Amino acid sequence: MADTGTTSLKRQEIIDQAYRLFYEGGFHATGIDTVMAGTGISKRTLYKYFPSKEHLIEAVLTKYAAAVDDMFAPALARAADPRGQIHAIFDVRREAMDGHTCQGCLAMKAAGEYAGKHEGITAIGARSSLYVEQRFADLCAKAGLPDPALRGRQINLLLQGAVQTSQMRGNTEAFDAAKQALALFL
């Protein structure tokens, strides 16, 4: 019988390696051979845990979703009021990009690369964006803002636009304009 601790560690090692490489190189451009290089784990072992590259990508996106969720805790701790917390989310995201711990939205990258090619991966990307939008809507409701669902959507668009523009330009100056526009919604 296989040791479930070792099994779990190997599976997580594969996910961690793929997460880093997919983030750096994209999903289509990064092959399974690249993911496995240097891990000491065989393709056979990889396919034992993940029947296809798409299954591995889904596991990577699950890890990414947890990282996105983890981003909210320090942001929410920075301010007591919901408006300040919304501003803090923009600040935390910018800091992550400045520190190169964040290279844009991995879920949106996946959804873009797999649009029309893999429903599951595209759906995970959409859920990630909707999750962030809902968190903003919840904060807007707590702040007593009118039409919190619409405001949450608008604020999410500002954040995602700042993230994508920052990634494309190689700097985070877009967050300055995004935060100025954010003031109009709050």
The total number of structural domains in the chain stands at 1
39 lies in a domain? no
pLDDT of residue 56: 93
155 lies in a domain? yes
Among residues 168, 81, 89, the alpha carbon closest in space to that of 133 is found at: 89
Residue 175 belongs to domain spanning: 54-185
Model pLDDT for residues 83-96, shown as the tens digit of each residue? 999 999 999 999 98
User: Do 167 and 174 form a contact (C-beta atoms < 8 A)?
Assistant: no
70 lies in a domain? yes
pLDDT of residue 107: 83
41 lies in a domain? no
16 lies in a domain? no
From residue 181, alpha-carbon distances to 54, 90, 142, 165, 172 in Å are 37, 12, 20, 15, 15
pLDDT of residue 102: 58
Q: What is the dihedral of CA 22, 28, 34, 39, to 10 degrees?
A: 50
Confidence category of residue 170, pLDDT binned at 50, 70, 90: confident
Prediction pTM value: 0.80
172 lies in a domain? yes
Residue 153 has pLDDT above 50, yes or no: yes
135 lies in a domain? yes
pLDDT above 70: percentage of residues in the chain: 94
Residue 50 has pLDDT above 60, yes or no: yes
Residue with tokens 């299954």: 55
Choose the most confident range, by mean pLDDT, from 4-13, 34-43, 94-103, 134-143: 134-143
Q: 81 or 47, which is more confident? A: 81
Q: What is the mean pLDDT of residues 122-147?
A: 91
C-alpha triplet 104, 141, 109: angle, nearest 5°: 15
133 lies in a domain? yes
Q: 111: domain CATH number?
A: 1.10.357.10
